[in-house]
Amino acid sequence: MASGKFITFEGIDGAGKSTHIGFVADLLCKHGLKVVTTREPGGTELGETLREVLLHQKMHLETEAMLMFAARREHLAQVIEPALARGDWVISDRFTDATFAYQGGGRKLPLAKLEALEQWVHPHLQPDLTLLFDVPLEVARTRLDATRTLDKFEQEKADFFAATRAEYLRRAAQFPERFQVVDATKTIAEVRQALAHIVSSLCAG
Ligand code: TYD
């Protein structure tokens, strides 16, 4: 009987989630589990093409939301659903909560429209665990790598990220059974300790 679980990593740009994905993947491997690590938008050839467009081209905000879900549809069909069906564990760097936070919170698209797309694309699947890396905006800003060109989202203003963060936190409160909010202002070692604790309870459950 397949028993793979689906873990998503979320947080505003600069929260530091990417630093911890490899750590969690290694922990799961040490528990003897097979792990597929992937990301959104992206994770498939078509999804990575859509990512390029989404991160660098201006477009209507509804087009943006629909392309996020189009990339996700492909990602689910080609990567996430087959892996879970095999019994593998899947770690995705962002998933649908990011669309609610960025397109719903940040861009203020009505949440009902996003819920309709979610119902269409994955009516029955939700992550088993969503790790929300939470930091105040000022901290996130200082962590964005100043040496590279910022993408379309990273160039947004503080009020966009305040609304994005607020929507993430609202969802964490709405779905406490799957969300774990990680205080990402802590040191890497402290965050890892918290992650190790969360992951071992998930493996035991
Ligand atoms: P991110 O995951 O932060 O990658 P990197 O660490 O390489 O910068 O970048 C993806 C960007 O896409 C991020 O700014 C959030 C945005 N995004 C949305 O706006 N909506 C979505 O549904 C998803 C998945 C991502």
Give, rounded to a whole angstrom, the gap between the first and last alpha carbons of the chain.
15
Q: Which amino acid residue places its CA nearest to atom 6 of ligand 1?
A: 18
Q: Which amino acid residue places its CA nearest to atom 14 of ligand 1?
A: 153
Q: Are 43 and 75 in contact (CB under 8 A)?
A: yes
Nearest Cα to Cα of residue 37 among 24, 46, 52: 24
DSSP-derived secondary structure letter, 10: E
Average pLDDT over residues 134-143: 92
Average pLDDT over residues 47-61: 98
Q: Are 7 and 131 in contact (CB under 8 A)?
A: yes
Average pLDDT over residues 127-132: 98
Q: Which amino acid residue places its CA nearest to atom 22 of ligand 1?
A: 99
Angstrom distance (rounded) from CA 168 to CA 166: 5
Please give the pLDDT value at position 190: 97
Pocket test for ligand 1, best of 68, 94, 143 (most atoms within 8 A of CB): 94
The whole model's pTM is what? 0.96
Per-residue pLDDT for 202 more than 60? yes
Per-residue pLDDT for 144 more than 90? no
Q: How far is CA 202 from CA 27, 54, 130, 199, in A?
A: 12, 33, 11, 5
Residue 123 main-chain phi, psi, to 5 deg? -60, -30
For 72-118, write each residue's pLDDT tens digit. Answer: 999 999 999 999 999 999 999 999 999 999 999 999 999 999 999 99
Nearest Cα to Cα of residue 191 among 183, 200, 201: 183
**Sequence-separated (6 or more) residues with CB below 8 Å from residue 171:** 97, 100, 101, 179
Per-residue pLDDT for 1 more than 70? no
Residue 172 main-chain phi, psi, to 5 deg? -60, -35
Question: Residues lining ligand 1, judged by CB closer than 6 Å?
Answer: 13, 18, 40-41, 68, 93-94, 98-99, 102-103, 153-154
Q: Calculate the dihedral angle through the C-alpha atoms of 24, 29, 32, 37, rounding to the nearest 10 degrees.
A: 90
Complete edge-to-edge strand list for the sheet that includes strand 35-39 = 35-39, 89-93, 6-10, 129-134, 179-183
Compute, in angstroms, the gap from residue 7 CA to the centroid of ligand 1.
Answer: 16
* DSSP labels, 98-138: HIIIIIIIIT---HHHHHHHHHHH-SS---SEEEEEE--HH
